[in-house]
Amino acid sequence: AADEVAATALFLASNEAAYITGATIHVNGGMVML
């Protein structure tokens, strides 16, 4: 949902995420195409 994506973006922009670098965050609702 859009609110979950927004919450993730806010977290990554905060000081709490200072040590997160080079991470890939998949926005796919848990669905994976094989």
1-34, pLDDT tens digit by residue? 899 999 999 999 999 999 999 999 888 888 887 6
Q: What is the pLDDT of residue 1?
A: 82
Q: What is the pLDDT of residue 13?
A: 96
Nearest-angstrom CA–CA distance, 20 and 28: 20
- Choose among 27, 28, 33: nearest CA to 12: 27
